Chain A
């Protein structure tokens, strides 16, 4: 079966750095996405990785290792507005997105 694993919840302090991990087992791989979802709102796109390595975009970075079936999202200089759920999704061999259940990130002052 296909499976995406992420921690259910994480807590971090404002101004700090947090790493949210995602491991996957899917039938094929055609890219990995990270989305942010604030409570009661729609998911919004953060990053896309298809090759191994680190993609940096401002305070957010995403890393991929295809051989390990592993990705992480790194958030730096945390702000209160970063409190949200972070969704990992893998595009499988049928080009459909398989979604993890999401990691709820709580930022404390």
Chain B
């Protein structure tokens, strides 16, 4: 693994289903982030984690949950998917909360 990986690359999901998007980084970065990117809008922060064992809510956290059991992994869970959660999801990491962020390749999620 080099950098940040995300899985799956894309997914079509029925409304009401539970889904976990995976994110793993091998840079030993302390901070990790989940964003969604929608056409015509800027990246919007869903949840973040400044260090393993801690998480925080971003701008649009409703309907999403995260956990940070260790430094490398930061999964994002949609408990019961809705069509408005159709988006491209990017995971990012940074050495600290004040340094530049590195992005994973993204997951394209479609909720029908």
B50 to chain A, nearest CB (A): 9
> Which chain A residues lie closer than 8 Å to B105 at the CB level?
41-42
Tell whether, in the assembled complex, residue A44 and residue B103 are in contact, meaning their CB atoms are under 8 Å apart: yes
Among A95, A96, A100, point to the contact of B42 (Cβ < 8 A): A100
Interface residue count for A (Cβ, 8 Å)?
21
The answer to whether B42 touches A101, judged by C-beta atoms less than 8 angstroms apart, is yes
Cβ of B106: which chain A residues have Cβ within 8 Å of it?
41-42
Q: Which residues of B contact A97 (CB under 8 A)?
A: 43, 45, 101
Choice from A31, A95, A99 contacting B43 with Cβ under 8 Å? A99
How far apart are the CA atoms of A43 and B103 in the complex, in Å? 6
Cross-interface CB contact of B48 among A31, A41, A96, A100, cutoff 8 Å: A96
Evaluate contact between A45 and B42: CB separation under 8 angstroms: no
Considering only residues 19-35 of chain B, those with a C-beta below 8 Å from chain A are 35
B43 near A91: Cβ-Cβ < 8 Å? no
Chain A residues with Cβ below 8 Å from B58 are 96
Q: Give the number of residue pairs across the A-B interface with Cβ within 8 Å.
A: 43
Cβ contact within 8 Å between A45 and B101: yes
State in angstroms the CA–CA spacing of A37 and B81 once bound together.
Answer: 27
Residue of A4, A41, A42, A43 with most chain B CB atoms under a 10 A cut-off = A42
Residue numbers in B under 8 Å from A31 (CB-CB): 98
Closest chain-B Cβ to A30's Cβ sits at a distance in Å of: 7
Check A48 for interface membership: any CB of B closer than 8 A.
Answer: yes
* B64 within 8 A of partner (CB): no
A interface residues (Cβ-Cβ under 8 A, vs B): 4, 30-31, 33, 41-45, 48, 87, 89, 91, 95-102
19 residue pairs of the A-B complex, CB under 8 angstroms, read A4-B42, A30-B98, A33-B100, A41-B105, A42-B90, A42-B105, A42-B106, A45-B101, A45-B102, A48-B100, A87-B42, A89-B42, A95-B97, A97-B43, A97-B101, A99-B35, A100-B42, A101-B42, A102-B42
13 more contacts with CB within 8 A, not counting A87-B43, A96-B59, are A41-B105, A42-B90, A42-B106, A43-B103, A45-B100, A95-B97, A95-B98, A96-B45, A96-B48, A98-B42, A99-B35, A99-B42, A100-B42
